[in-house]
Structure 1
């Protein structure tokens, strides 16, 4: 059986193993049986392979916040089914006979942080409130625009061949007008339409990054986009934030030391901190990037729903020169199911991106683009009402948190729809997330959102839910906090500072 072991492969570490187990504690039956089944699924899928060592019983029990007896019983069951074996001095490992006939399957990004969030999007566990999403349901404006599009635009659309790799001309014109109104003069030829903001980031990474390259990113940031940069072969270097945006002193030092190929920033409604980068800070970023010859990728996916003047002009509006790509999206402004994003860039860069887009999918769906072209000009008029709803939902969740979790601390966000919450007493947010999952809440630990692994006592908490869902969420978070406190014993009650 030893011949089936891949000696060049690194077995999953403890945190990666727990991500593979996913929502293991849901379902029926004893807790040890649910853990047994989850490890068995990882073996049969090929995510755990012959010879992979499993953590010690005590270490896994501590990491999952369960009793050691639960893990002991699970390992016994795995050995009994032939999926694991224990060797003196070597611990417990995946049995060779259990997977000798299988080809390894591994679609995960090594070192990726968004794996568990993406997996739960696929599996959609019942009755789970996921904090991995901060999107709102579509409103009546979406329905009206869709009906108008079908009635007025559909005949002309279906007579078209349907292939527009750079985007539907009407949508490119609408995006150009949108940026112009928000302080960034733009021509349609400077726009390429993408299937969501994630594809926009991926195409940009494909164009400017490669194996062994370096990208500077904010610490913290959104793990899905950080994983996209990693998947392009890039090494990520984190730069910290303050209340004004990315710190200029640390950015200047990182540019000089690491000579990166790309600088990825989220200056408007930063995810997860809610920081709004000031106009002066944006200007200095543009100047530093131009000085060092670094491409700037500014992710403004959360900015489309803002009215003109609610945020400073994009970094690309700076006269400093250099190459700046601006990413936009309708997912946060309209509806997460409308997978329309874009990149605004110099025309020669747009031509190269359009070629990559054509190789990827020959162009985003035309009907979606036609709907987006109708919606984009209406967003400034809708912005006040959407802002009112967000204020009400922010007030709701902060009131409930103050009532049920008074030791949790956060700073009021300047934009967006998430709170960046610090847990008291230096609590490991990964451990809390594992307990919260058993109470029906998917929490995103801060360390998974930081390329440096810092912020390990923070969690990201969206407030985009309807009030009844928010109430249920806070109840689950409070129950999980109480359960963790009981299992960990007395913990620090001092107030945690931002």
Structure 2
């Protein structure tokens, strides 16, 4: 099934045809392209704009589009070899034990728009058909009509939005108050702010193993040393967590207690209090990434760790991006005590504040009856897609299906591959079959104990596409000798 927009398809076609035109030669008129592709003038304009952004064409208002001359852009060779030294050299008098490693390959992969025909089992956001796009448009329209929509917001965030996050995180017991909430530009921004606030460069940070690759990338980019603590069916191993604090002297533990990425597990009830107790005893903080709270498949959810935190040890991250749209980059940090002032200061230094129109639109969205209805809709849709993926695995890859945990929320399955399987080769073979998956290696801070792949069912048009994607995976598995029989 094609996932790209028609403008992308037109741009791809014209890109292939550019060799027919001499540099400076005029391309067909917009009107002729509209007739040829049977699309709107806006779609053609977007396609030409994409080619212009690549430097392949030049658009002249009122005159049309022309193939760019070779050499329009200054391509003079510049020797940048010195940068390899400048970006890695350390001041020997102030050398950090963990030099910064800025590797965002795994993040780029999850954010990339899949090409036409690709079944994207590696996505991290809801498919457009599951996003509340009409409600978002209406919310933004109402937000920008407010008299103060373009005034600077309070640095901590709009009072109404902070109050909403406080109620959402603290629950009916009122365990969180608005002054303990800092509005952020999404969950990833909150995560990087937390790392900068809590861990000095060169220090260790404890992480679940496996864990979210975006956290590992952010930690290494900040010069931190991720130290893995194994996860089992009940979440992080608290006995090993205590040992890790004692061994490393770490002052931060990052975790995802609810619908953990990538395993999908929920932290066991008897471990919840132990996590905060162990961190408090070590004089450390727990960074709780609650990214999937609004992606449950139905049923009662445990409260966030921060709601029951008796020590002020938990720094909580919440976000509206996952359940709404990748463009609604609004989240919150919740913390108690002096650490909030440091979080606030770092955010101000990094980005000043979250734009007011974005905050106003988020507040408009969550304050309407549409929002709870939308959450019920995506809960049902994600459960349906999860069941479709499990059913397809049982049909086409029964041996693999037998090892898969069915998560009660979130948007992905974690597949254990046979020992000796080559994740890199398998991922490349699946791409050739027009299926994109997430290899397991980037989810581990150290050596992976076994090969895995992660399959997301969020960024998928429907159950038929899921079934077809698993069938393609099974075909590749059998070609590679990783499964017994179809």
TM-score by length of 1: 0.71
Aligned to 1:473: 469
Aligned to 1:22: none
Residue 101 of structure 1, aligned match among 61, 79, 84: 79
- In the TM superposition, residue 258 of structure 1 has moved relative to its aligned partner by 1.0
> Quick one: structure 1 residues 426 and 411, their matched pair in 2 at CA, closer, same or farther if it must change by over 3 Å?
farther
Alignment gaps of 5+ in structure 2: 1-11, 13-76, 89-98
Alignment gaps of 5+ in structure 1: 1-26, 28-98, 486-490
> Quick one: structure 1 residues 457 and 140, their matched pair in 2 at CA, closer, same or farther if it must change by over 3 Å?
closer
TM-score by length of 2: 0.73
Q: Confirm whether residue 235 of structure 1 aligns to residue 231 of structure 2.
A: no
Aligned to 1:73: none
Q: Confirm whether residue 151 of structure 1 aligns to residue 129 of structure 2.
A: no
Residue 397 of structure 1, aligned match among 389, 401, 406: 389
Q: CA RMSD in A?
A: 3.1
CA contact (8 A) 2:298 2:380 kept: no
CA contact (8 A) 2:206 2:252 kept: yes
Compare 298-307 and 451-460 and name the one that shifted more.
Answer: 298-307
Q: Confirm whether residue 292 of structure 1 aligns to residue 282 of structure 2.
A: yes
Aligned to 1:14: none
> Quick one: structure 1 residues 113 and 467, their matched pair in 2 at CA, closer, same or farther if it must change by over 3 Å?
farther
Aligned to 2:210: 220
Aligned to 1:205: 195
Aligned to 2:380: 388
Give secondary structure in 2 for the equivalent of 1:221. coil
Q: Confirm whether residue 415 of structure 1 aligns to residue 406 of structure 2.
A: no
Q: Confirm whether residue 244 of structure 1 aligns to residue 238 of structure 2.
A: no
Aligned to 1:40: none
User: How do 1:411-490 residues align onto structure 2 when only pairs under 5 Å count?
Assistant: 411-464=405-458, 465=460, 466-485=462-481
> Quick one: structure 1 residues 146 and 112, their matched pair in 2 at CA, closer, same or farther if it must change by over 3 Å?
same
- In the TM superposition, residue 102 of structure 1 has moved relative to its aligned partner by 3.6
Q: Deviations over 1:52-86 (max 9, x none)?
A: xxxxxxxxxxxxxxxxxxxxxxxxxxxxxxxxxxx
Q: Deviations over 1:89-140 (max 9, x none)?
A: xxxxxxxxxx883446679996566414415735754443333323213557
Aligned to 2:313: 323
Distance in 2 of aligned mates of 1:391 and 1:234: 37
Which one scores higher on RCO, CA 8 angstroms, separation ≥ 6?
A: 2
Distance in 2 of aligned mates of 1:265 and 1:483: 37
Distance in 1 of aligned mates of 2:207 and 2:162: 28
Distance in 1 of aligned mates of 2:384 and 2:338: 44
> Quick one: structure 1 residues 218 and 389, their matched pair in 2 at CA, closer, same or farther if it must change by over 3 Å?
same
Residue 355 of structure 1, aligned match among 345, 353, 356: 345
> Quick one: structure 1 residues 412 and 123, their matched pair in 2 at CA, closer, same or farther if it must change by over 3 Å?
closer
> Quick one: structure 1 residues 182 and 423, their matched pair in 2 at CA, closer, same or farther if it must change by over 3 Å?
farther
Distance in 1 of aligned mates of 2:173 and 2:230: 27
> Quick one: structure 1 residues 101 and 383, their matched pair in 2 at CA, closer, same or farther if it must change by over 3 Å?
closer
